[in-house]
Structures are given as structure tokens and as C-alpha cells.
Structure 1
Amino acid sequence: MSNFLFDEFNPLPAKAWKQKIQVDLKGADYNETLLWHTDEGVIVKPFYTKEDRKNTKIKVPKKGFNICQAIFIDDEKIANSLAIDALQRGANSIQFKATKTFDYKTVLNSIDIENTSIYFNFSFLNADFQIELANFCSSQNTFFQTDIIGNLAEQGNWFTNLKADHNQLEKIVENTDNCISISGDLYQNAGANITQQLAYTLAHANEYLNHFRGYFADKIHFNFAVGSNYFFEIAKLRAFRILWESLLNEYAIKDVETHIFTQPSLRNKTLYDYNVNMLRTTSESMSAILGGSNTISNVSYDEIYHKSNEFGERIARNQLLILQQESYLSEAQNFADGAYYIDSITHQLAQNALTLFKLIEKSGGFLKQLKAGIIQKKINESAAKEEEKFNAKEIVLLGTNLQVNSTDEMKSELELYPFIKQRHIKTLITPIVRKRLSETVEKQRLDNE
């Protein structure tokens, strides 16, 4: 065939399609009947054409995604053994989590740190230790997920105090690379809608840009959590790349790559009918891949109630391996390019988030609004709206608020406390709290077992 099949048909503009739909509606209002207005301020149409393309060049990673295994450092030798095992079984990235300093030479023994992306997530702040560790690794593939503002937002307090934390951070930034991480995942897991997640993450990062006067922007990277709204989550990650590049342009900063570390959300994970969590994380991991994540760390189906275990971690890792190797998504970072629907919602999300970001900056910036409790209030309002929809079954979690297995019992399975822990400490600000949608329902079911 010398001609393409569709060359035989005359192209129709969007206006013609809309006129045809209005005829078929037989008098019903097109806008009221077919347009979906989301909580993010996005308008979803019943059809899309090339007129919806924005032709914005989004700078996605040059190579496919890394598969990351998260490992908590309690015993250095065990952590090292687990890391080596994960790398031999398909992971090509490791996230080490720690609550105190450790013998990093033992932890990293026999690991090819030059060719393995290593992320360090510390719940403490120690500049000297971090600089020493960075010098030992001496690799552009080493990332430190240090975020003093994120710690303030989640814990309600600085690590030490404002001045001491900033002094420590300045020392870290001057002596290490890839050393500031923006905890955008916090806002998603606390119940913020996607527009809020984007705006708060951008405003959060802008506090560091302001503090360092635009210098060291290339040392900032981002953590995101991905929920189950499949196309919107793809668009979220792509929209953030547009937003971050736009913000850097305001500082006259060019050619800085946006590095995104992604995990599936815990907000929609459930205690009962827990195997469904595997389906949720598969969909969310696909969104992360198609959205252009640099590194993805999947969560185990039993993450919320079981201690770390070989079976759960192997399944989580293999989910990503199947998507990468069997589903041929190893180089899928460009797959969403040119998709009319994704293009449309990407730019709507970016525009709405930019509008909210400007309001935050006009009101004094992210830290000022955080200290005033405004950010927390807005997230709580969004979370409450989401919980209302969950209770009304407008948001469905199978096995929890729909198709419930009444014989399912979990009390004897709990190795970890799966709910919000009440903290009785004095805080400078109201913390932003990560909370799962199904916690209230699950508590009631556990009480009745």
C-alpha cells in the first residue's frame, strides 16, 4: 500500500466532533453532561484531537528507570548482604535507610558504587558523617535524601533548631553533590491533591533556591509518591519537570536535569485483602515509568503490617522487573510524548500548580505558610474530601469498602502497628501526617475480630 489507510478520510476538526456529539445528546448540555471537573481543577473532555497537543519538549531521563531496593541499616553486615542479594536478583539501585551513623565501609563492601545508584535516607542530620560518606563513595550515582524543611514539615520540629540545621546543611551543600532531596511524597501520602502536591513541592524546593540564591540547584533532587489515578499520575511527573525547569529559568539556571525518585503511595494500601496491594503497586509503578521517573522503589504488598521479609521484597522487585523486561518498558520514558489526553492534563496540572505556587510566594513563601499552618489546613481539607468519597464509595478500595471478605481476619498477622501513632511531644508547628484512607474502617474491623 502506497497510502496510509487513514489518508482516505478527510480530517475533522474538534469543532465538528463536538457538533456531532451535541446532536447525539438530544438537547442535553454538553458541558454539564460530558465534562468532568476534577478536584485538581482539571477539565477532562470526552474526546481529544491534535488541537490539544501543546508540543512542549519535556526533558525526560536519557535512559530507562532504575529498580531500587530499600534496605534499613540495623546491622551493617546484614544490610550489606541484603543489598548484594538484591543487586544479584535484578535491582540496580539501593536505598539505605538509617537512624544513626554506621560503618559505611562494611555496608558498601563489594558493591559497585560507581555503576549502582545509591540513595541514603537518614532520619538524623550529621554533616561531618555525610561528607565523609560522600567522599568515600565519590560518585555521581550517590544521592543523599537530606531535607531539613521536609523534616520540619513531617516531624513538626527541626533536627536541632533553625540555625543549627541550616549551618549543617550549608556545610553539606558546599562539600557534597546530590545532597538535597525534596520530600514531595509527604504531601501525597497526607492526602493532598495532585495540584497541591506539585505546587507544594515546587514551593518547598524554592525555599532552598532562595536560601542559596539559586546556587547548587543541580544538587537538588525529588521524591514523589504515585497514587492510583493512572493517567493523572503520569501527567503529574511530567508536569513537574515543566514546572521545575520554568522555575530554574527565573534564576537564569540552564541545563539542570530533574532527578525524580518515586515510590507507590501508601495512602491507598489496605490491611485487609492485602494481595490487592500488588495490583495497586503494579499500576502505580507503570505510571511512574511512563511519567519518566529516574528511579523507582516499589513497596511490598505487606509493607504496612509486616516487617521486612524476603518474599514481599522479591515480589515487589519482580513486579518492576516484569514491567521492565517482559513488558518492554525498559526505555519507556518517552512513551507519553504526543498523547493528546496526557498532554492536555499535564499542562492543566502545570498551570494550576503554577497559579497556586505564585499565591504561596505572594503570601511570603512555603515556610511562612507552613509555620502559620496554612499548608497543613489545605492538605487536611483535601484529605477530608477524599475520605468522604471513600466512605461514600466514590473512591473504591477493593476488599475494604467494596467486595469485602467478611471472614478475613488480620489481628494475628500484625507485626507492625499499621495506623497513625499518637505522638506526645511539643512541636514548633503542626506536623503534616501521613495517613492511609482505610485506617478508620480497619480499626473497627480489628476491634470486631
Structure 2
Amino acid sequence: MNNLWKDFDSVSAKQWKQKIQVDLKGADYNDTLVWQSLEGINVKPFYHQDDFENSFNPIPGQPSNWNIAQSIYVDDEVIVNGIALNAIDKGAEAIIIIAEELFDIPAVFKNFPFDKVAIYCKFSFLSQEFYNELIAFFSEKKATIYYGIDLIGNLTKDGNWFHSLEKDHQILENLVQNSSVINSIGVNTATYQNAGANCVQQLAYGIAHANEYLNHFSETNKEINFTFTVSVGSNYFFEIAKIRALRLLHATIADLYKCNVNCHILAVPSKRNKTLYDYNVNMLRTTTECMSAVLGGADTVANLPYDAIYHKSNKFGERISRNQLLILKAESYFDTVSNASDGSYYIEALTQELAEKALTLFKDIERNGGFLSQLKEGTIQKKIKESAQKEQSLFDEGKLKLLGTNLQPNLEDKMKENLELYPFVKTKPRKTLLEPIIEKRLSENLEKERLENEK
């Protein structure tokens, strides 16, 4: 093989471009082959070593392996325990506990294999007493636990603090100061993606979001370890680069605070492009999204069941979503190399450009008062709406295609009788401190119209 390469001369980027222009037979290179993404990035038809002045630096904090997670909603503690143990028996390597109210901790984690399976908490409440119980329980069990408390994430999604600014921060400070709590703070960037923010916005808002916590805790000298929750869309290579860029940006900001430059990333497929009709296509979407998450370097990947937007939690949907990840890991060799995307000219270029654009936007946010200030002013919400509307217009015009929905739809497909969950944006008028960031799927308006016309 070494001798074979010596028989061929290397081809420069200039030579490649000249050859392409000859083959275009007079057509304009930029108009024909270069396209612009929603982030304003011009994507070229090829990338070459000549495009880079320096060699590639490794992405900080990339994991040597990734875990398969399953999300479980806490309702009946005994049932939840059974679901968790079954999921672990069938291949889950991490469990995400989702709860809206207090629950019986020992009952949920009865016979749980704490030495083998990590636990992520996604709670829509904040209770000092409950967290004290949780910390004492998990400390005794020597569990690997990611508490992921995100006060700002709740504010962006709900429009209010859990209790109040002062009380929320006091509870979080107490937990951060607890010596047995390592992974206390979460940053949920999934809300931004599901609401329509582009990749650059997601990165900039995520880092600005984390920077608010770093500012607050900078004087405590407490080591802050962030758990980022990232929602992965269908723009395959951009999503790979997005996760890599997040690690670069986090390392840059954390280093200024003398904090741990490595972060932990939990990745989940986007809800924004999921559809009600021809729902089996959702499995194809989530498969490529999970692939992007793995190749981008997520620590843990939790798949989204194909029927999650309209069905309650069910064994079949959960089994299929888990098996998609098992196939990627055990049969498709996605666990063989931990940094498979490193050195790809296209992905390296995207990573660099996304990080640079996001850093520019982050600096602009900081110059204008910071993330919380811009949330209160409504600037962040306005920018996300503008991005979402651009994407929505492309979908409405048929330029952004969702198979089975605005491309080759099966008009005989009926869904009205299958809805266990309301699959559209819910309105709940209430007084809020600021305008919440609302998640919305691209196909909602079209699906509402189809449901109304079903006979």
C-alpha cells in the first residue's frame, strides 16, 4: 500500500477546482455547487488539506465509549422499577428518570445495579428536602448520578423560576457545596433546537446559558461539571460538527474560570422534524440523528420512540428505540472508534466555522448584558422565532421536505383514532416573568388540517 501511493502525484485544491469548472461547461461554480445553510455557512462541494493552515487539534473531552440510555417517566413507582430493570436487562446502560413530582426513591430503585448503570435526573420541580434524600441514597449506593439541575432551563421553558430567583439559587448553591455531589448542574440546549434555533444559536445560547452559572459560582472555587442535553436534528454532518463545537466552546469558556474544561453530553433526537402521519419514517430520522450523536462524541445517547409524539409510553416503542441504538453499537461497529470524525476535512471545517460563529454571537450576548438579561428583554426569544420562521417557510414551500408529510404523503393514512397524547403546542395562559421559549414541530399546521378533514 505504501508503494502504491508513491505512484500517484498529490492533487491540490486548485487543481480539483479547475477540473470541476471544466466539467461544469461554463456554469458558475458558486451558483451551481456551493450552497448556504440556515446558519449562513457556505458549504463547498469538496474540502481539501490545502484549506487548513494548521493540523487538527483533538476535541477536548471526547469519550472513549458511549452509553445507551432509556428515558422513564415516573408515575407508579413499582411499574417504573420494573420498566427500568427490564430496560437494563435488554441492553440499556443508563436510565433517565423523568418526574414532575416527588416519588418514593427506594421503590423506584429497588434491586437497581448501581455499579453498572448511570442515572440521569430530569425533574420539573426543585425541592431541597427531596434532593437531600436523593443525595444520601445515591451516596450510600455509590451510584454514578447526573442531577442536571437547570434553573435557567426551567426559566426558558416555563417562563418562571421554580420558586423565585433567590430561593432557586440558594437551593442550587447548597447542593453544589455538598462534597458528595459531583455532577449537579445541567444545561438544556434541546429547548432551543426544538423551538427552531439554528446550530449557531444553539451553541451560543448553550454556552451563554452555562456562563451564567459560571459567573454565579466563580467566587466559590467549587469545581463545576456541566451536563449538556443536546437535541440532534437531521442535518447529518452539521449535527456531528455541532457536538464537537460545543466541546470546543465549553473548554474555551471553562478555562477562563479555571474550571474543568471537559463537559458531559447527553444527546437525544429532535422532536421538531417528527411527524404524526407516516410515523414509521420517524425511525429513519432518529437512526441518522443517533448516528450523528455518536460520531459527534456524545457520552450518552437516548433515542426517541417513533410514536413518542402521539402515544403514551409503551413497551413496543421503547424496545424499538432501544434496539436501534443496540444495532448501531453491537452490529454496526459504532463503538469501535471513539473519534471517527476526527480528521475529516468537511467535518473539521464545519466544526471550526460553527464554533467561530457561535463564539461571535456569544460575545455579542455578553456585550449586551448577558443571557438572562436578553431573555428578560425578549431578544433571545425573538431571534429563535426568526430562525424558526425561516425553516417553517422552507417547509411550507416544499423546499424542506419531510417524507410522508409534505413529500409523497399517503392521503389514506388516518390518525384521529390513534391519538393518546395531544401532539401539538399546548396553550396555558398564565402570568410569567418572561416569554417562554415554545417548542413546535414543523408539520403541526399541516397535520391539524389533515386531522380536521379526516372522515
Same fold (TM over 0.5): yes
What residue in structure 2 maps to residue 428 of structure 1?
433
- SS for the counterpart of 2:224 is helix
Q: How do 1:361-440 and structure 2 match up within 5 A?
A: 361-440=366-445
Which whole-Å deviations, capped at 9, do the CAs of 1:43-87 have from their partners, x for residues lacking one?
A: 211111123455021024343111111111111111111100000
User: What is the rounded CA distance, in whole Å, between the counterparts of 2:452 and 2:25 in structure 1?
Assistant: 53
User: What is the rounded CA distance, in whole Å, between the counterparts of 1:140 and 1:19 in structure 2?
Assistant: 59
Q: 1:165 aligns with which of 159, 164, 168?
A: 168
Which whole-Å deviations, capped at 9, do the CAs of 1:338-384 have from their partners, x for residues lacking one?
A: 11111111100000000000000111100000000000000000000
Assess, with a 3 A threshold, how the Cα gap between structure 1 residues 59 and 140 changes in structure 2: closer, same or farther: farther
Which whole-Å deviations, capped at 9, do the CAs of 1:110-163 have from their partners, x for residues lacking one?
A: 112132110111100012211321221124620112111010100011111111
- SS for the counterpart of 1:405 is coil
Q: Is the 8 A contact 2:185 2:224 kept in 1?
A: no
1:146 maps to amino acid: I
Q: 2:148 aligns with which of 131, 145, 150?
A: 145
User: What is the rounded CA distance, in whole Å, between the counterparts of 1:43 and 1:6 in structure 2?
Assistant: 32
Q: How do 1:231-270 and structure 2 match up within 5 A?
A: 231-253=237-259, 255-270=260-275
2:324 maps to amino acid: Q
Q: Is the 8 A contact 1:183 1:201 kept in 2?
A: yes
Whether 1:156 and 2:146 are equivalent positions in the alignment is no
**Count of aligned positions:** 447
Q: Is the 8 A contact 1:209 1:217 kept in 2?
A: no
Which whole-Å deviations, capped at 9, do the CAs of 1:150-203 have from their partners, x for residues lacking one?
A: 101000111111111111111121122211110111100000000000000000
User: What is the rounded CA distance, in whole Å, between the counterparts of 2:384 and 2:109 in structure 1?
Assistant: 39
Q: Is the 8 A contact 2:102 2:130 kept in 1?
A: yes
Q: How do 1:218-229 and structure 2 match up within 5 A?
A: 218-229=224-235
Whether 1:8 and 2:14 are equivalent positions in the alignment is no
Whether 1:18 and 2:17 are equivalent positions in the alignment is yes
What residue in structure 2 maps to residue 49 of structure 1?
48
Q: 2:351 aligns with which of 339, 346, 369?
A: 346
User: What is the rounded CA distance, in whole Å, between the counterparts of 2:336 and 2:363 in structure 1?
Assistant: 35
1:213 maps to amino acid: S
TM-score under structure 2 length normalisation: 0.95
Which whole-Å deviations, capped at 9, do the CAs of 1:410-442 have from their partners, x for residues lacking one?
A: 000000000010111111101000100000000
User: What is the rounded CA distance, in whole Å, between the counterparts of 2:188 and 2:359 in structure 1?
Assistant: 18
Assess, with a 3 A threshold, how the Cα gap between structure 1 residues 332 and 190 changes in structure 2: closer, same or farther: farther
What residue in structure 1 maps to residue 36 of structure 2?
37
Which consecutive residues of structure 2, in runs of 5 or more, have no partner in the other structure?
Answer: none
Q: Is the 8 A contact 2:114 2:143 kept in 1?
A: no
Greater displacement, 77-86 / 135-144: 135-144
2:326 maps to amino acid: L
Q: Is the 8 A contact 2:196 2:387 kept in 1?
A: yes
Q: Is the 8 A contact 2:200 2:358 kept in 1?
A: yes
Whether 1:286 and 2:285 are equivalent positions in the alignment is no
Q: Is the 8 A contact 1:290 1:332 kept in 2?
A: no
2:346 maps to amino acid: Y
- SS for the counterpart of 1:218 is coil
- SS for the counterpart of 2:120 is strand
Greater displacement, 109-118 / 17-26: 17-26
- SS for the counterpart of 1:71 is strand
User: What is the rounded CA distance, in whole Å, between the counterparts of 1:173 and 1:418 in structure 2?
Assistant: 37
Assess, with a 3 A threshold, how the Cα gap between structure 1 residues 197 and 387 changes in structure 2: closer, same or farther: same
User: What is the rounded CA distance, in whole Å, between the counterparts of 1:89 and 1:278 in structure 2?
Assistant: 19
Identity of aligned residues (%): 54
Whether 1:115 and 2:116 are equivalent positions in the alignment is yes
Greater displacement, 326-335 / 396-405: 326-335
Q: 2:282 aligns with which of 259, 277, 284?
A: 277
Q: How do 1:310-325 and structure 2 match up within 5 A?
A: 310-325=315-330
What residue in structure 1 maps to residue 127 of structure 2?
126
User: What is the rounded CA distance, in whole Å, between the counterparts of 2:303 and 2:271 in structure 1?
Assistant: 11
Which whole-Å deviations, capped at 9, do the CAs of 1:300-327 have from their partners, x for residues lacking one?
A: 0000000000000000000000000000
Q: Is the 8 A contact 2:188 2:230 kept in 1?
A: yes
Q: Is the 8 A contact 1:97 1:120 kept in 2?
A: yes
Greater displacement, 212-221 / 120-129: 212-221
Q: How do 1:164-203 and structure 2 match up within 5 A?
A: 164-175=167-178, 176-203=181-208
User: What is the rounded CA distance, in whole Å, between the counterparts of 1:108 and 1:332 in structure 2?
Assistant: 33
User: What is the rounded CA distance, in whole Å, between the counterparts of 2:402 and 2:127 in structure 1?
Assistant: 41
1:99 maps to amino acid: E
User: What is the rounded CA distance, in whole Å, between the counterparts of 2:51 and 2:109 in structure 1?
Assistant: 49
User: What is the rounded CA distance, in whole Å, between the counterparts of 1:7 and 1:433 in structure 2?
Assistant: 57
Q: Is the 8 A contact 2:159 2:436 kept in 1?
A: yes
Q: Is the 8 A contact 2:225 2:263 kept in 1?
A: no
- SS for the counterpart of 1:246 is helix
What residue in structure 1 maps to residue 107 of structure 2?
106
Report the CA distance between 1:217 and its aligned residue.
4.8
User: What is the rounded CA distance, in whole Å, between the counterparts of 1:284 and 1:387 in structure 2?
Assistant: 20
User: What is the rounded CA distance, in whole Å, between the counterparts of 2:121 and 2:129 in structure 1?
Assistant: 15
What residue in structure 1 maps to residue 71 of structure 2?
70
Greater displacement, 356-365 / 215-224: 215-224
Q: Is the 8 A contact 1:69 1:94 kept in 2?
A: yes
Q: Which runs of at least 4 in structure 1 moved beyond 6 Å after TM superposition?
A: none
Assess, with a 3 A threshold, how the Cα gap between structure 1 residues 421 and 438 changes in structure 2: closer, same or farther: same
- SS for the counterpart of 2:171 is helix
Which whole-Å deviations, capped at 9, do the CAs of 1:245-284 have from their partners, x for residues lacking one?
A: 011122233x542100010000000000000000100010
User: What is the rounded CA distance, in whole Å, between the counterparts of 1:363 and 1:228 in structure 2?
Assistant: 32
What residue in structure 2 maps to residue 303 of structure 1?
308
